[in-house]
Amino acid sequence: MPQKVPTDHSADGSTVDRVTANDPPDGGYGWVCLAACFSINCFTWGSVSAYGVYLSHYLSENLFPDATPIDFALIGGFNFSMAMLVAPFVTILARRYGIRAPMIIGVALFSAAHLSASCSTRIWHLYLSQGILLGFGLGFTYIPNIAILSQWFQKRRGLANGISAAGSGIGGLVFSFATEAAITNLSLAWSFRLTAITSFVILIPSALLLRSRNEIVRPFQRGFDARLLRRYDVRMLLAWSFIIMFGYITLLFSLPDFARSIGLSTSQAATISALLNLGIATGRPLVGNISDRYGCIETAGVLTFACGILCFVLWLPGTSYVTIILFSLLNGAIFGIFWVVSKLSDGGLTQALIWASWQTIGPLCVEVAGLVELPSLLSLSWLTITLPTSFSEIIALKLRRTGSSREYLYPQIFAGLAYICASACIYELRRIKRAQAKV
């Protein structure tokens, strides 16, 4: 008579199988987790990616008389920076109470942010709702699920993570069109309400369906360690993270309003935003596979530089709809390189141990500091990008030449230079790692 397989209950209430500790099942319930992670990416980062559509409307219509373009830029930046600020706290919370509790809190905050934004009549209402509260909800919802797929997949890990990461691009594609349609045909308030309702309906079941294997994997957990800042390679990695965000946020939020500034319609501007996200959806799995083959530092360096070149070659001279469509698709595939490059493919539980990492920065942190120091270096990375994610679009809008025939000339140059300067940091990091390997 076969023996019953021993099981344990994880902190989030899910049942896990002890015999699979060193052998992720590579399927089974992992496919359910994959569908849940895809949905979470789609309805969190996907909806946030549509902020460029909101920004275009805010800048072209006098919806909040007491507001300036800087206010709207800062609100969009808060979506990212607030999520970064709460990330270390959410990480510890998820380890102590399981993944479901913080995720359900996050979904509640995320939906409440959109509902309260729909009632906003003053700019400070929008700061608290679409800015700060939305960022908190994003962080609480997304952070706990980051390493779930790596705990369920080994041989198919790259495929699973690629499909999940593409969710943000698909979500951005859908939300760009849907947000524009809702604002045009209904109202700004109802666009927020519909996002709140659909997000809640999808994200709650997704959070409940997720199961972690943390009780089996037991990922390393160390606190914040500022001593890492003494290391030159760490400083280069953080410099890359800091600088690249100026280009990323400028592109993500400015492109729809840039389209409007060259004479395109609001629907065409929304299409540009959607195609940027389509590029994200198709490019992320491909970039992940490339970095598996050639290395994440090398891939990050090449693609960061390529983003800068595309800004100067296509975006800067681009004045036609076709040219901007081409730029959106090409740059969309690679411009979010901080979030995308590489799935470590060294087997075992390495990727599962990167339970707090994001698509690129996690593997890069492992290459620089190792698994033991990973949580500390990730916390430093999150804090490092808080300022650029908050203020990048403010700088871009300050550089804008309102009334000029080339209104976004200086923001375009700013974004391109940010990527090129960031690539210099990553190439210096590559030189350091090669020198260390020879010792």
Q: In the predicted model, is pLDDT for residue 369 greater than 50?
A: yes
Rounded mean pLDDT, 307-325: 90
pLDDT in tens, 17-64: 444 445 666 667 778 888 888 889 889 888 888 887 888 888 778 788
pLDDT of residue 140: 92
Q: In the predicted model, is pLDDT for residue 424 greater than 90?
A: yes
Q: Which residues pair with 8 in a beta bridge?
A: 16
Q: In the predicted model, is pLDDT for residue 351 greater than 70?
A: no
Q: Taking all residues of the chain, what is their mean pLDDT, rounded to a whole number?
A: 78
pLDDT in tens, 278-288: 777 777 667 66
Amino acid (1-letter code) at residue 408: Y
Interatomic CA distance for residues 382 and 325, integer angstroms? 32
pLDDT bucket at 420, cuts 50 / 70 / 90: very high
27 in the Ramachandran plot: left (φ > 0), alpha (ψ -120 to 50) or beta? left
Residue whose C-alpha is closest to residue 336's, from 425, 399, 256, 253: 253
pLDDT of residue 120: 87
pLDDT bucket at 414, cuts 50 / 70 / 90: very high
pTM here is 0.73
Q: In the predicted model, is pLDDT for residue 345 greater than 70?
A: no
pLDDT in tens, 380-403: 887 888 888 888 888 988 898 877
- Structure token pair of residue 205: 């079941």
pLDDT of residue 17: 42
The interaxial angle of helices 232-261 and 361-369, nearest 10 deg, is 160
Backbone angles phi, psi at 77, to 5 degrees: -65, -30
Helices (H), 210-265: 214-217, 232-261
pLDDT bucket at 147, cuts 50 / 70 / 90: low
Q: Which residues pair with 7 in a beta bridge?
A: 17
Rounded mean pLDDT, 393-422: 89
- The share of the chain scoring above pLDDT 90, in percent, equals 16
pLDDT of residue 343: 40
